[in-house]
Amino acid sequence: MVTENTAKRSVLLIVTGSIAATKVPELIRLLKDKAMDVTAVLTEAGGYFISPLTLASLTGKRVYSELFSIDEETEMGHIQLSRKSDLIVVAPATANTIAKMAQGISDDLASTILLATDKPVLVVPAMNVRMWEHPATQRNVQTLRKDGVVFVGPSKGALACGEEGHGRMVEPSEIVDEIQRFYDFKKLGRPLQGKKALVTSGPTVEAIDPVRYIANRSSGKQGHAIAAALKALGADVTLVSGPTALPDPVGVKMVKVESAREMLDACYKALPVDMAVCAAAVSDWRSSNLSEQKIKKPAKKSMKPEDMLTFTFMENPDILECLGKHGDKRPQLVVGFAAETENVVKNAKAKMQRKGCDWILANDVSGGSVFGSEDTEIHYITVDGEEHWPLMSKRDVAFTLASRMSDYFSIDPKLRKNNVTKLLL
Ligand code: CTP
């Protein structure tokens, strides 16, 4: 597990004007428990929800609020504040603060720090659901995501204003997890710099006629998180994804596809790569008689078997197997997933052999609970054996896998063990 030299970790926490500011003391307490150094900046609106004295007592430090205060500027000016910490966390972040950040407005200390910083920024939104869903806010969020700002939440639920929906600030423990992840990545550095990675993600959709298709419940969360993690470790990443509702991970080359055959074509086009991770839930079948016209309902109702509508399907290509058994362009490391409902490890090992991949991450999907959820439990299987990763977030799975992949590439190529070597012996 990654450990960190805790003494050096310092977070600049910007608190803006939302009722969720009442959760900030808990956030500071959790950060201090992890021996993180916290400096607080409070906006004028934030001061209506939490007092500077509370923040000062909890952080054990002076709280900064004013842009034009001789006192504050001489002690620690806004430029120093924007550069001195490892990370800036805006929690809670109002729609107004997000809008100012997206537009580059700097009319108070908080927004000036955010414009002047060269440090990573994590934004934790908190607002009314209509404000969050407003096209203007969504545009601003998109702009900031493209700039590399990381968003945590908001979550869905009952809001302080009495309405329901997205807008709740996520719990302090989730914010701390995200901050911890930032330090975990920082500790590893960019070991995959100069390496190329290919990741598949999401479902595939297979047309039946011009308006209908078959698909599955994959959200793409796992594959997208893996692409983002490999990118964070320095790899040059191509993410080939079926339709999902997720934002494109920043800095990866995105290829959007629909069917399994389009996904395979896109993967072949991305070769050669050093590593491939197949996390997509590829549809195993496609219609064998794709109708060019919309299939109409029968004119008269009938319960006779010969009058019933029957679809026939044919098998799709297996993308993982095509990559795992690719001749000259086989990636050095090919990783697959195995969704199993019984005999999880045994079936996954057989799948690993059958598809010629080097590692397989198996999960139990009985009950359908993995699809769309945030957390998953993994059996990590390699030629050396098996390891159980307890229930963790898909982003933590992505981080753990990416760090294992970087370990693999740090070993002398002659000493690397993989499935293909074993199959050839
Ligand atoms: N996979 C793929 N192309 C397919 C089917 C699966 O690339 N046509 C990949 C998935 O991305 C995953 C792995 O193969 O990495 C295993 O997928 P899974 O759904 O568990 O297995 P299947 O091959 O579909 O086998 P089965 O349904 O019999 O368990």
| Residue 335 alpha carbon, nearest atom of ligand 1 | 15
Residue 13 in contact with residue 38, Cβ under 8 Å? yes
Residue 65 in contact with residue 47, Cβ under 8 Å? yes
Supply the residue whose CA is at minimum distance from atom 21 of ligand 1. 338
- Residues 6 or more apart from 306 whose CB is under 8 A from it? none
Q: How far is the CA of 294 from the centre of ligand 1 (A)?
A: 30
Burial class (CB in 10 A: 0-12, 13-18, 19+), 303: exposed
Helix axes 52-59, 24-33, angle to 10 degrees: 10
Q: How far is the CA of 391 from the centre of ligand 1 (A)?
A: 22
For a ligand 1 pocket test, name from 264, 282, 326, 341 the mutation site with the most ligand atoms within 8 angstroms of its C-beta.
Answer: 282
Q: Which residues are near ligand 1 (CB < 6 Å)?
A: 200, 260, 278-280, 282, 284, 316, 318-320, 336-339, 351
Q: What does DSSP say about strands 275-278 and 196-201: parallel, antiparallel, or unpaired? A: parallel
Q: How far is the CA of 230 from the centre of ligand 1 (A)?
A: 22
- pLDDT of 7 > 60? The answer is no
Q: How many residues does the chain have?
A: 425
**pLDDT at residue 136, rounded to an integer:** 98
Residue 123 in contact with residue 111, Cβ under 8 Å? no
**pLDDT at residue 1, rounded to an integer:** 41
For a ligand 1 pocket test, name from 206, 261, 318 the mutation site with the most ligand atoms within 8 angstroms of its C-beta.
Answer: 318
What phi and psi, each to the nearest 5 degrees, are found at residue 399?
-65, -45
* Average pLDDT rounded to a whole number, residues 384-411: 93
Q: How far is the CA of 278 from the centre of ligand 1 (A)?
A: 9
H-helix or E-strand spanning residue 280: none
Could you tell me the two tokens for 117? 């910083």
Helix axes 172-188, 394-410, angle to 10 degrees: 10
How far is it, in rounded angstroms, from Cα 180 to Cα 177?
Answer: 5
250-287 pLDDT per residue, tens: 899 999 999 999 999 999 999 999 999 999 999 999 99
84-115 pLDDT per residue, tens: 899 999 999 999 999 999 999 999 999 999 99
The verdict on whether 322 is a catalytic residue reads: no
Residue 52 in contact with residue 66, Cβ under 8 Å? no
- pLDDT of 307 > 90? The answer is no
Domain 4-186 class, CATH top level: alpha beta
Of these residues, 161, 278, 322, 357, which one is catalytic?
A: 161
Q: How far is the CA of 215 from the centre of ligand 1 (A)?
A: 14
Distance of CA 34 to the CA centre of its chain: 23
**pLDDT at residue 370, rounded to an integer:** 59
**pLDDT at residue 420, rounded to an integer:** 59
Q: How would DSSP label each residue in 345-357?
A: HHHHHHHHHHHT-
DSSP assigned state of 64: B
- pLDDT of 424 > 50? The answer is no
User: What architecture is domain 190-286+304-424?
Assistant: 3-Layer(aba) Sandwich (3.40)
Mean per-residue pLDDT of the chain: 91
Enumerate the CATH 3.40.50.1950 domain ranges in the chain, comma separated.
Answer: 4-186
**pLDDT at residue 414, rounded to an integer:** 80
Going along 81-177, which residue ranges are E strands? 87-93, 121-125, 150-151, 155-158, 164-168
| Residue 315 alpha carbon, nearest atom of ligand 1 | 8
Q: How far is the CA of 282 from the centre of ligand 1 (A)?
A: 6
- pLDDT of 4 > 50? The answer is no
Enumerate the CATH 3.40.50.10300 domain ranges in the chain, comma separated.
Answer: 190-286+304-424
How far is it, in rounded angstroms, from Cα 370 to Cα 410?
Answer: 32
Distance of CA 120 to the CA centre of its chain: 16
For a ligand 1 pocket test, name from 257, 316, 351 the mutation site with the most ligand atoms within 8 angstroms of its C-beta.
Answer: 351
Supply the residue whose CA is at minimum distance from atom 16 of ligand 1. 338
pLDDT tier at 304 (50, 70, 90 boundaries)?
confident
Residue 126 in contact with residue 27, Cβ under 8 Å? no
H-helix or E-strand spanning residue 207: strand 206-207
- pLDDT of 3 > 50? The answer is no
